[in-house]
Structure 1
């Protein structure tokens, strides 16, 4: 099966090589024609190929008791394939689009088996008009907040951790089987999604502590609405851009929700199992604008506030591309193994991100730019006595716009332990440093 997935990926690359007729007008960030073949003279029907690879070199201070290949270590330096993606978009008519995407995720020292090339997206969409389009299949189409769907042109090394907080629990690689409707009515952009969540949990209910239920999952309902004051953003894909580097002037005010009935459970004082709904609401504001187009300077900012109700004292600890394979429970913290930290839970989460591009190094060629950025995530969760504060600071070297960039990021996260009063308090803080290279092809 894994060999078949690899063959699928290779086929995508080979098919791209057979595109003899390409769009001579449109160029990518490298100055090359895009990998698009138009199927009619009006250029309203096409087949296109795209993808990207993200490679990490990392040094991380690990949580107490972390095990790497069975050995307890305090820190690690490692290489990781964070993401590899290969995508085909086929538009045989003006109204119909089919998307197929595969890839690899989080291939690192903790990956004990040969990584599988996964089927990630396979969905079809029919566009009635600009006001409404409908689609179905396996995809990242969902609501709640701007970054819930995953990464696209991120300012820092990766998405904020709260954005995909249920990843691997009720979805697979941020994907679910779903049907959706989307559209743009004037300045209003909307999406509404009904999905079948997965059940990827094995824990029994606990006293006064909500965990995801092992029972048959109910539908996952979500939506996201935004009002665009200046330029209009594309809604051709599920993803929202983290920055336009001054190519657009965007001010978007958004609001969204997610609801899953009986998604979690817990035990009350009588040891009776009580079912809990997941109810999440978010508002956010995104602003991206050029400062001086000739010099290439721009400014970007994003702010988000989210309220989550998962049930009593729910907290999820998770780490991106976690390098640890286990933890020594006799000396561990509440964070668990590796680079885990609290990412979401019952309570409120706030996020702020700012950044922008500095002048071109070579104005004549419009090439090479620095892009500094920073972010703060603050979570006030019922299950934590101390608020969770995680912050990032980084800088990117844009070699060919966002299509070839090198990013350095430093992140500081809290470590939680139980104090004498059995309350979750911050006992330490740990650092993680990531050097990421990303290259796109399209």
Structure 2
């Protein structure tokens, strides 16, 4: 089955090249015709291919006790395939669209077996009008916040960690089987989703600490609503853009929710099992605007506040493309292995990022520019005595817009241990440095 997925991906790429012979198509960031074949003269029916690859070179200070290939190490330098994606979108009629996407995720030194080319998305959508469209299948359509599905274009090296806090627990690679409705009513953009969550991680109930339960999961309900003050954003895919690099002027105020009944459990003082709902609410504001279009300068900002209730003292520690294969518990911290840090939990999380593009290096070609950015994530969680502060700073070299870019990022994260009173305090901080290259094809 894994081999068949790989063959499908290769066939997509070859077919995309084969069909890209039609004339008068729009151009991508490389100045080449897009991989879209129109099925009628009106160009309202089409088949298109796209994808991207993200490659990391990284140096990371690892959490205490981290094991890599069975050896306890304090740091690591490694290469990683963060994401590889191949996507087909087929629109046989003006109102019907089918999307199929596959790829690889987090292939690194901890990947002991042959990487699997996964079927990620397979869903169909029918558009009744601009006001309402409905779809079903396996996809990243979900609500809560702007970046819950992951952004199309990131200002920094990756999406903020809180945004996909349940990844790998109630979903697979941020995907669930779901039905959804979406649309735009004037300046209001909305999406409502009902999904079947997975049960990938579960544990026995513990005293006064919530954990995802082993019981059959209930539906995952989520929604996201945003008001667009200036230009409207495209809602043809579930992903929101992290930046337009000055190509649009967007001010979007959003709010969202997620609810799963009896998703978690814990033990009370009488050792009775208490079921806990996941209840999450968020509000965010996204602003992206050109400053000087001739020079290519722009400004982007995003702010988010989220309240999560998973049950008493729930904290999730997770790390992106974690290079560690285990941890020596005798020497470990609460963070666990590798580059894990607290990403979500019962309490409040706040996130701010700012950035923008600097003037083009070459005014004639208009295709080389720098994009500096920085972010701060602050989590005030019930299960942590000290607040969790994680910050990033980086700069991207845009070589062909956002379709070919090199990003350098530095991230600092907290390390938690229990103090003499049994409370989770910050005992240390660790760095991670990432050099990422991303290339898109479309």
TM-score bracket, normalised by the shorter chain, equals over 0.9
Query: Which stretches in structure 1 are left out of the alignment for 5+ residues?
Result: none
Give the drift of 1:21: 4.0
SS in 1 for 2:10: helix
- Partners of 1:418 and 1:292 lie apart in 2 by 51
Q: Contact 2:65 / 2:337 at 8 angstroms: preserved in 1?
A: yes
Give the drift of 1:5: 1.2
Q: Once the two structures are superposed, what CA deviation does each residue of 1:351-388 show, in whole Å capped at 9, x if it has no partner?
A: 00000000000011101100000000000000000000
Structure 1 runs (4+) greater than 6 angstroms displaced: none
- Partners of 1:361 and 1:247 lie apart in 2 by 18
Give the drift of 1:202: 3.5
Q: Contact 1:211 / 1:314 at 8 angstroms: preserved in 2?
A: yes
Q: Contact 1:404 / 1:439 at 8 angstroms: preserved in 2?
A: yes
1:367–1:194 Cα change, 3 Å: same
Q: Once the two structures are superposed, what CA deviation does each residue of 1:137-163 show, in whole Å capped at 9, x if it has no partner?
A: 000000000000113110000000000
- Partners of 2:27 and 2:411 lie apart in 1 by 35
Q: Please, what TM-score do these two structures have when normalized by structure 1?
A: 0.99
Give the drift of 1:23: 5.4
- Partners of 2:35 and 2:334 lie apart in 1 by 48
- Partners of 2:106 and 2:69 lie apart in 1 by 16
- Partners of 1:48 and 1:354 lie apart in 2 by 33
- Partners of 2:226 and 2:22 lie apart in 1 by 34
Give the drift of 1:8: 1.1
Give the drift of 1:20: 4.5
Q: Contact 1:22 / 1:34 at 8 angstroms: preserved in 2?
A: no
Q: Contact 1:23 / 1:37 at 8 angstroms: preserved in 2?
A: no
Match of 1:19? 19
Q: Contact 1:140 / 1:175 at 8 angstroms: preserved in 2?
A: yes
Give the drift of 1:2: 1.4
Match of 2:265? 265
1:135–1:23 Cα change, 3 Å: farther
Matched, 1:440 2:437: no
- Partners of 1:302 and 1:87 lie apart in 2 by 28
Q: Contact 2:138 / 2:177 at 8 angstroms: preserved in 1?
A: yes
Single out whichever of 27-36 and 202-211 deviates more from structure 2: 202-211
Q: Contact 2:20 / 2:34 at 8 angstroms: preserved in 1?
A: no
SS in 2 for 1:129: coil
- Partners of 1:123 and 1:214 lie apart in 2 by 28
Q: Please, what TM-score do these two structures have when normalized by structure 2?
A: 0.99
Q: Contact 1:23 / 1:38 at 8 angstroms: preserved in 2?
A: no
Q: Once the two structures are superposed, what CA deviation does each residue of 1:395-437 show, in whole Å capped at 9, x if it has no partner?
A: 0000000000000000000000000000000000000000000
Q: Contact 1:101 / 1:121 at 8 angstroms: preserved in 2?
A: yes
Over aligned residue pairs, what C-alpha RMSD do you find?
Answer: 0.6
1:441–1:312 Cα change, 3 Å: same
